[in-house]
Amino acid sequence: MELYQIRYFLAVADTLNFTRASERSFVSQPALTKAIQRLEEAIGGRLFDRTKNSVQLTELGRGMLPNFRQIYETANHARKEARRLTRPQKEVVRVGVMCTIDFHQVLPGFVESQEGSAEVELSFREGNLEALTDALDEGDVDVGVMCSPYAMPKRFAATPLFSEEYVLAIGDDHRFSGRASVEMAELHRERYCERVMCEFSTYIEHVLRDRSVMLEVVQQSSREDWIQALVRANFGVAFMPISLARAAGLACVAMADMPIVREVSVLTHADRPTSAAQQAVIDSLVAYGWGRGRLAPT
């Protein structure tokens, strides 16, 4: 379980309303709902009874509430104390990189910030969209490299870095092999491997549903390497950014009638001042030649 999931649970428990809880948590309601579902999976039972008109804690939810509240308060206290005790001599810029972005792809963009800047150190961590926006809100990371199918909240300052297309990754022996593109209708009843950490998964699901295209989800995993192995072994197909498909050596086809493009940006929290070291990292990322190689410039 993740700390942001506990934070969202406490918000729902306090308001007994998913809409107000999402507003209080500065997150979309689908993202909050998904986080609660993942927490329930980790706990092994439902935390809320949700009907059309009300939300109530289950017996399990009531029993876990004081435990989760203590965990959250203890973690926040420990985090603040750790910051106080471990202030480095050099400024450390803490960078969050979304787990669905190929780290090899973005790492060269940080190199220039290390040249001639002995006072700057980089500390990297990964996470999904919800975890990293939570980390930016809580001050646990200074800079985030991330993207979303929806507009980023105004509390974040976002500078675009590059854009890339989503493709359908397939096995070498798949019936689409050798084709440049396919129509969305051809995916109806297709065996599908779901990347559960993908920030576009819910968006893609809604687009397909709106066009009456139903996928047969045969595998689900939060690990990109597992999904890639499953696709390679022809267990099913998967939507993924073209950089991930190419890095994994997977065959892929474009969607002729459903272009999906994600824009990867560098984010900071708009309500906090940006230090010189943090700005050096941002400038390094912006100046990097993203148009070279596999990716189209923004």
> Quick one: 148 and 285 in the same domain?
yes
Q: At 213, which CATH number?
A: 3.40.190.290
Helix axis angle, 29-43 relative to 3-15, nearest 10°? Answer: 110
* pLDDT, position 88: 54
* pLDDT, position 296: 38
* pLDDT, position 18: 93
> Quick one: 152 and 274 in the same domain?
yes
> Quick one: 42 and 170 in the same domain?
no
- Token pair 């706990």 is found at 43
pLDDT at 297 over 80: no
pLDDT (average), residues 98-112? 88
The number of domains in the chain is 3
- Give a yes or no: residue 284 inside a domain: yes
- Give a yes or no: residue 108 inside a domain: yes
- Token pair 């810029």 is found at 93
* pLDDT, position 144: 96
> Quick one: 80 and 223 in the same domain?
no
* pLDDT, position 293: 37
> Quick one: 149 and 276 in the same domain?
yes
To the nearest 5 percent, what fractions of the chain are helix, strand and coil? 40, 25, 35
- Other Cβ atoms closer than 10 A to 183: 11
pLDDT at 51 over 80: yes
Q: At 101, which CATH number?
A: 3.40.190.10
Which string of DSSP letters, residue by residue, matches 84-121? Answer: HHT--SSEEEEEEEETTS-HHHHGGGGGGGGTT-TTEE
* pLDDT, position 92: 87
* pLDDT, position 177: 93
**Domain extent at residue 7:** 3-85
> Quick one: 97 and 133 in the same domain?
yes
Last residue of a domain, one of 69, 85, 101: 85
Binned at pLDDT 50, 70 and 90, residue 258 comes out as confident
* pLDDT, position 119: 62
pLDDT (average), residues 31-56? 92
How far is CA 8 from each of CA 80, 82, 193, rounded to the nearest angstrom?
A: 20, 23, 28
d(CA 74, CA 140): 15
> Quick one: 251 and 181 in the same domain?
yes
pLDDT at 107 over 80: yes
pLDDT, the chain, mean? 89
221-253 pLDDT, tens digit each: 999 999 999 999 999 999 999 999 999 999 999
pLDDT (average), residues 188-207? 92
> Quick one: 31 and 98 in the same domain?
no
Q: Are 135 and 96 in contact (CB under 8 A)?
A: yes
Last residue of a domain, one of 56, 85, 114: 85
At a CB cut-off of 8 Å and minimum separation 6, what does 119 contact? 90, 91, 277
* pLDDT, position 115: 67
The percentage of the chain sitting over the pLDDT mark of 70, rounded to a whole number, equals 94
pLDDT (average), residues 79-88? 74
130-188 pLDDT, tens digit each: 999 999 999 999 999 999 988 888 999 999 999 999 999 999 999 999 999 999 999 99
> Quick one: 151 and 282 in the same domain?
yes
pLDDT at 295 over 80: no
Between 239 and 25, whose confidence is greater?
239
Last residue of a domain, one of 85, 117, 138: 85
d(CA 8, CA 237): 32
* pLDDT, position 227: 96
- Give a yes or no: residue 298 inside a domain: no
- Give a yes or no: residue 240 inside a domain: yes
Q: At 70, which CATH number?
A: 1.10.10.10
Q: Are 151 and 25 in contact (CB under 8 A)?
A: no
* pLDDT, position 294: 40
